[in-house]
A and B are shown apart, each in its own frame.
Chain A
Amino acid sequence: MKSTGCMKFHFSSNLKRVREASARILKQLDGMKCTQSHLFDIRLCFEEAFINAVKYGNQGRPHQEINVELIKHPDRIEIAVWDHGKGFDFDHSVDPTLKENLNKPGGRGVYLIKKLMDRAVYEKNSRCLRMTKLLN
């Protein structure tokens, strides 16, 4: 299905900007057939991806940008987040739902992205996390 718009954003690597960044992304979804449930999941997954990109990708280096691409389709939203880090093993990240991990505080960001998005792929060569949310 043909896309109805592609937008690119550039954010500084600053954890204090995460809410501002997600607000800018969500604002672009006005007028689409997103439910509150869709918007909750998209915001949560985008913020988790942004936080990971700042903390672990760019490792807090403020001069390195977080680049974001938003593609709007009639039936889905695609969001890609790039950082300048070394990349990580997205497919083999720790499963926080295992019994031995359940009472550990951290490690749920990537898992939430995998579960709440309909598709999430990490392109290690370009250090890009691509996430898709279906609007059906």
Chain B
Amino acid sequence: MQIKLGETKGVTIVTIEGEINLESSPQLRKAFDDLLKKGTQKIMLDFQKISYIDSSGLATCVELFQRLQDKSGKLCLVQLPVKVRNVFEVTRLDKLFPIYNSQEEAFVNF
């Protein structure tokens, strides 16, 4: 899994490539820890290049959501491939996280 960080309009964009699974979740959690320690409050996760996510990946996203909420921060997900989006929909996590089709759409609603 590769993680790239960027910032646009005051929002930290985390672009993740590869699989978010039991093996890679600790790496993602560490990246989120580092962002939260720096005081980051607005995070957009770009999943365009995510090919697979399992329940541990979902758990890592929910943990980030909770921690941001505690700091009055915001989280959204963008550009989910169909099967990855289906995992969020089946588990109804699309009701917890705002999910947008594009970064542009997300910025309008951030």
Q: Which A residues form the contact surface with B (CB < 8 A)?
A: 15-16, 18-19, 36-37, 40, 43-44, 47-48, 51, 96-97, 102-106, 108-109, 111-112, 115-116
Contact = CB atoms under 8 A, between A and B. Distances in A.
Nearest to B92: A97
Given A48-B54, A102-B96, A105-B63, A112 B22 contact: no
The dominant DSSP class at the A interface is helix
Measured as residues with beta carbon below 8 angstroms from the partner, the interface class of chain B is: 20 to 34
Interface of B: 21-23, 52, 54-56, 58-60, 62-63, 65-66, 83, 87, 90-93, 95-96
Q: Which 6 A-B pairs have the closest CB atoms?
A: A105-B59, A97-B92, A108-B55, A109-B55, A105-B62, A40-B83
B90 A47 contact: no
A15 B22 contact: yes
